[in-house]
Chain A
Amino acid sequence: MIEIEVHNVSLGYGRQTVLEGLTFRVRPGEMVGLIGPNGCGKSTIIRALSRVIPPRSGEILIDGREITKIPRRELARLVGVVPQMPILPSAFTAFEVVLMGRNPHLGLFQYEGPRELDIAWRAMERTGTQSLAKRRVGELSGGEIQCLLIARVLAQETKAILLDEPTANLDIGRQVEVLDLIRNLCFQSNLAVLAALHDLNLASQYCQRLILINNGRIHAEGTPWEVITPRNIEEVYGAGGCVYTHPVNGLPTVLLNAGDGKMAKTDRVPEGNNR
Chain B
Amino acid sequence: MGIAAPIHLPQWRGRIYGVIGLIFLLALVVVLAVSVGSVKVPFLTTSSILLSRVPLMGTNPGGSGALETIILDIRLPRVILAGVVGAALATAGATYQGLFRNPLADPYLIGVAQGAALGAVIGFLLPTTWQGAGFGLIPLLAFAGALFSTAVVYNLARVGKTLPMTTLILAGVALGALLGSIVSYLIISSGEQMHGIIFWLMGSFSLSQWSEVRIVLPYVLVGAAVILLYARPLNIMQLDEEQAQQLGIDVERLKLILLAAATLITAAAVSFVGTIGFVGIITPHAVRLIWGADHRFLLPLSVLSGAIFLILADLLARTVLAPTEIPIGVITALCGAPFFLYLLRRRKKVIF
Report A's interface with B, CB cutoff 8 A: 47, 50-52, 72-77, 79-81, 83, 86-93, 95-96, 100-101, 103-104, 106, 108-109, 111, 114, 117-118, 120-122, 133-134, 136, 138-139, 156
Let me know if B7 and A51 touch, CB within 8 A: no
Which B residue's beta carbon lies closest to that of A122? B1
- Known A-B contacts A100-B239, A111-B232; A121 and B3 likewise in contact (beta carbons under 8 Å): yes
Kindly identify which residue among B101, B230, B239, B292 contacts A108, using a CB–CB cutoff of 8 Å: B230
B294 surroundings in chain A (CB, below 8 A): 92, 96
Q: Is B236 an interface residue (CB 8 A)?
A: yes
Let me know if A86 and B292 touch, CB within 8 A: no
Residue with the greatest number of chain A CB neighbours at <10 A, chosen from B243, B246, B249: B246
Digit string of B324-352 for contact with A (CB within 8 Å is 1, else 0)? 00000000000000000000000001111
Let me know if A47 and B248 touch, CB within 8 A: no
| Other A-B pairs beyond A51-B245, A75-B248, A87-B239, 16, CB < 8 Å | A76-B247, A81-B243, A86-B240, A87-B243, A89-B235, A91-B293, A92-B294, A95-B7, A103-B233, A106-B232, A108-B229, A111-B296, A114-B2, A117-B5, A118-B1, A122-B1
Let me know if A104 and B248 touch, CB within 8 A: yes
Q: What is the minimal beta-carbon distance from A94 to any residue of chain B, in angstroms?
A: 10
Chain B interface helix/strand/loop/mixed: loop
Q: Is B192 an interface residue (CB 8 A)?
A: no
Let me know if A89 and B239 touch, CB within 8 A: yes
Complex Cα spacing A106 to B351, Å: 27
Digit string of B2-39 for contact with A (CB within 8 Å is 1, else 0)? 11110110010000000000000000000000000000
- Count the B residues whose beta carbon is within 8 Å of the partner chain — how many? 35
A80 surroundings in chain B (CB, below 8 A): 246
Complex Cα spacing A108 to B238, Å: 17
Let me know if A89 and B238 touch, CB within 8 A: yes
Let me know if A72 and B238 touch, CB within 8 A: no
A51 surroundings in chain B (CB, below 8 A): 245
Q: Is B75 an interface residue (CB 8 A)?
A: no
Q: Is B73 an interface residue (CB 8 A)?
A: no
Q: Is B255 an interface residue (CB 8 A)?
A: no
Report B's interface with A, CB cutoff 8 A: 1-5, 7-8, 11, 101, 229-230, 232-233, 235-236, 238-240, 242-243, 245-250, 288, 292-294, 296, 349-352
Let me know if B4 and A90 touch, CB within 8 A: no
- Known A-B contacts A92-B293, A134-B7; A100 and B236 likewise in contact (beta carbons under 8 Å): yes
Q: What is the minimal beta-carbon distance from A113 to any residue of chain B, in angstroms?
A: 10
Let me know if B238 and A92 touch, CB within 8 A: yes
Complex Cα spacing A121 to B246, Å: 21
Q: What is the minimal beta-carbon distance from A126 to any residue of chain B, in angstroms?
A: 13
Complex Cα spacing A96 to B248, Å: 17
- Known A-B contacts A88-B239, A92-B293, A92-B294; A104 and B4 likewise in contact (beta carbons under 8 Å): no
Let me know if A76 and B246 touch, CB within 8 A: yes
A86 surroundings in chain B (CB, below 8 A): 239-240, 242-243
A81 surroundings in chain B (CB, below 8 A): 243, 246
A87 surroundings in chain B (CB, below 8 A): 239-240, 243
Q: What is the minimal beta-carbon distance from A254 to any residue of chain B, in angstroms?
A: 31
Let me know if B239 and A120 touch, CB within 8 A: no
Let me know if A91 and B247 touch, CB within 8 A: no
B8 surroundings in chain A (CB, below 8 A): 95, 117
Complex Cα spacing A188 to B11, Å: 35
Q: Which 5 A-B pairs have the closest CB atoms?
A: A76-B248, A104-B248, A89-B238, A117-B4, A121-B4
Which A residue's beta carbon lies closest to that of B253? A72
Q: What is the minimal beta-carbon distance from A271 to any residue of chain B, in angstroms?
A: 45
A101 surroundings in chain B (CB, below 8 A): 247
Complex Cα spacing A117 to B243, Å: 20
A121 surroundings in chain B (CB, below 8 A): 1, 3-4, 7
Let me know if A103 and B236 touch, CB within 8 A: yes
Q: What is the minimal beta-carbon distance from A145 to any residue of chain B, in angstroms?
A: 12
Kindly identify which residue among A89, A100, A108, A139 contacts B293, using a CB–CB cutoff of 8 Å: A89
Q: What is the minimal beta-carbon distance from A152 to any residue of chain B, in angstroms?
A: 8
Q: What is the minimal beta-carbon distance from B29 to any residue of chain A, in angstroms?
A: 28
